Amino acid sequence: MTDRKESGIHTDFKERMTYGDYLDLDAILEGQHPLSDHHDEMLFIIIHQVSELWMKLTLHELRAAIQAIEKKDYQPAFKMLARVSEIQNQIIRAWDVLATMTPSEYLGFRDHLGQASGFQSYQYRMIEFALGYKTDHVLKIYQKDPELLEELKQAHQSPGLYDVAIKSLAKEGFSIDKEVLERDVSKTYEPNESVEQAWIEVYKDTEKYWDLYQLAEKLVDIEDAFQQWRFRHMKTVERIIGHKQGTGGSSGVGYLKKVLDHYFFPELWNVRTQL
């Protein structure tokens, strides 16, 4: 094999943008500030920072998908939702990396966290809001930052992914109860018989309702992955701190187990039984 120099490679960047400039790498790589001298605190910080970056992209895709579905522009929406599912797989894998940290190692720096906790992740709350799980009591956590609080309130009061999916059913001629179509979207969605019957018809005639069928399956993919993410989170926490209270004051594993029982798109899971 010939070892040849690449004559076209650029080496003079005195007046040009570099890879690091474009990605603002200095800001990213200098953003880790451990509060202890424990080796594993760097792992803890980076895992959570990377997860937040993936959540930022998730929100970017979900918001665009919601707008596309509202306009019945389904194909771009399907691409965005498929991307969300792949992003979720990356976040799930992050818990496997964090699980390499033992209880003894975490205790070496846990006290330095104070009351800081992943429970306070505002991007996670926005994802929940986008998926239709609306909890207004958590908004109190963000009163420290009025601008962020206002952004969260807007997300809390905006239609979620399932709201626009249900309206798509109505647009295609399905009879959806008025109280569902005109519901207060700042409240967590509750199952409805007319919605379930509509999805059953979609699944019974996939050729006729192909776009709605694909939409339904994309939603199931996202919820499936989200529940796997929640489960890995719960098991990682249990593995590292057992049933101790979380640093943010939650019940820790107990709280994480409880949210596993919640369904974002309940009728799409009931359909499996009814068909």
Give dist(CA 101, CA 43) in Å, integer: 8
> HEC string of the chain?
CCCCCCCCCCCCCCCCCCHHHHHCHHHHHCCCCCCCCCCCHHHHHHHHHHHHHHHHHHHHHHHHHHHHHHCCCHHHHHHHHHHHHHHHHHHHHHHHHHCCCCHHHHHCCHHHHCCCCHHHCHHHHHHHHHCCCCCHHHHHHHCCCHHHHHHHHHHHCCCCHHHHHHHHHHHCCCCCCHHHHCCCCCCCCCCCHHHHHHHHHHHHCCCCCHHHHHHHHHHHHHHHHHHHHHHHHHHHHHHHHCCCCCCCCCCCHHHHHHHCCCCCCHHHHHHHHHC
Residue 247 is labelled as binding a ligand: yes
Residue 110 is labelled as binding a ligand: yes
8 A C-beta contact, residue 93 and residue 161: no
Give dist(CA 257, CA 210) in Å, integer: 35
Residue 47 is labelled as binding a ligand: yes
Residue 209 is labelled as binding a ligand: no
Nearest alpha-carbon partner for 59 in 32, 25, 17, 87 = 87
Q: Which residue has the tokens 């799409």?
A: 268
Residue 87 is labelled as binding a ligand: no
Residue 48 is labelled as binding a ligand: yes
Residue 45 is labelled as binding a ligand: yes
Residue 106 is labelled as binding a ligand: yes
Residue 10 is labelled as binding a ligand: no
Q: What are the binding residues for substrate?
A: 44-48, 106, 110, 247
Q: What are the binding residues?
A: 44-48, 106, 110, 233, 247
Q: What are the binding residues for heme?
A: 233
